[in-house]
Amino acid sequence: MAEVVVSEAISGPAMDSLKAEFDVLSIPSLWQDEDALRSAMKDAKAIIVRNQTQVSAALIESSSQLQVVARAGAGLDNVDTAAASRRGVVVTYAPRENSLAVAELTMGFLLNLARDIPSAHIDTRAGNWNRTHFVGTELSGKILGLVGFGRIGQLVAKRAVAFGMSIVAYDKFLPNDVPLVDQLGVKMLEFEEVLKLSDFVSCHVPLVAETHHLFSHHQFSQMKDSACFLNTSRGEVVDERALYEALSIGGLRGAAVDVREIEPPEPGGLADLTNVIVTPHIGAFSHEAQMRVVDAVCHDVRSVLRGEQPRNPFVSK
Ligand code: NAD
């Protein structure tokens, strides 16, 4: 029986070193087979997952030797942290290691939405040369609304300011003393004010009960018809049907979404709209970020199994 179970595609030099030290069972599709996962976990001391494996209370409770759950990424919405804590199982993750990759994808979305680069690309590949069809807007002078001003929101703000944007933000739990707020001249406002003022609204909150469908019909109706909406956080934060309707009736100019309510989504829906950019949850997928993430979780699994302190334990607030 393996000591460490890896139930999704996770590889790299750090994983190779972990395999040299421990008995590791690594099956990228294991998350899809609940019975096989349960059986592999029976005597395992550690599990390493991305965001597909549901590390439920039942799975944690049926794993009698489990010491550590390591989530190769930032959000912990697929790990029952309360159940882990009840069983004395350490949860570690990689809260900072992929933030830059997500922030850079967000900047890519902003530029692509502003100039409609995807449509121009498709049209030009089709053999056309329609220069005047693709008159976009500039980011400079526009207002970027950030909903969630944590690690990723702040990295986006720094980059957007360099493009000449001004930043308004809403964050329910941000401490008062974040120096970047003054440094960048960020206006911290109420949620509704951010929605009403912004030319682009970008979502960077975690998925928790309170943020489920944080963006629905009412919120999209508050936004300018000329505004664009970006989501690189979690799909369930957005009522996708409401977003689809807002985009279809001209209530929003465009949207870019990396994450979906159901992943992978059914064909059609948002992906059928020409004013929407869709990507398959690639926010964290830069080579550099993946290296950092895999290094971080392998380091922490090794630490816990050796009886040492992990670097990134999840601590509930
Ligand atoms: P973070 O914890 O640093 O920041 C999140 C911010 O949201 C915090 O400042 C928090 O106070 C705020 N917040 C929480 N609940 C809120 C609410 N109800 N209303 C307003 N603000 C609220 O997290 P982060 O590193 O910036 O990451 C944000 C999210 O991005 C993650 O939770 C994760 O779901 C997502 N993410 C996605 C990818 C991807 O591949 N697309 C990769 C990494 C992270």
In SS3 terms, 49-90 reads as ECCCCCECHHHHHHCCCCCEEEECCCCCCCECHHHHHHCCCE
Give the pLDDT confidence score for residue 316 in this predicted structure. 83
Every domain of the chain with CATH number 3.40.50.720 lies at 4-96+287-315, 99-278
pLDDT at 317 over 80: no
Sign of CA dihedral 36, 42, 48, 54: positive
pLDDT in tens, 102-130: 999 999 999 999 999 999 999 999 999 99
Residue 212 is a catalytic residue: no
Q: Whose CA is nearest to atom 41 of ligand 1?
A: 283
The Cα 222–Cα 231 span in angstroms is 17
pTM comes to 0.94
Q: What is the dihedral of CA 21, 27, 33, 34, to 10 degrees?
A: 10
302 is catalytic: no
Query: Which fold is adopted by the domain 99-278?
Result: Rossmann fold (3.40.50)
DSSP conformational letter for 239: -
| CATH superfamily, domain at 4-96+287-315 | NAD(P)-binding Rossmann-like Domain (3.40.50.720)
- Kindly give the distance from the C-alpha atom of residue 33 to the centroid of ligand 1, in angstroms, as a whole number: 29
Average pLDDT on 22-47 reads 97
Instruction: Give the pLDDT score at 111.
Output: 98
HSE-CB of 227 using CA atoms within 13 angstroms: 24
Cβ contact 7:31 at 8 Å? yes
Sort strands 143-147 and 90-93 into parallel, antiparallel or unpaired: unpaired
Buried b (16+ CB within 10 A) or exposed e, 82-108: ebbeeeebbbbbbbebbbbbbbbbbbb
Q: What percent of the chain has pLDDT over 70?
A: 100
**Residue from 211, 233, 260, 316 to probe ligand 1 pocket by mutation (most atoms less than 8 Å from CB):** 233
Ligand 1 atom having least distance to the Cα of 170: 20
- Residue 206: phi and psi, rounded to 5, are -75, 160
b/e 209-223 (16+ beta carbons within 10 angstroms → b): eebeebbbeebbebb
Listed in sequence order, the residues at least 6 apart from 116 whose beta carbon sits closer than 8 Å to its beta carbon are 134, 136, 254
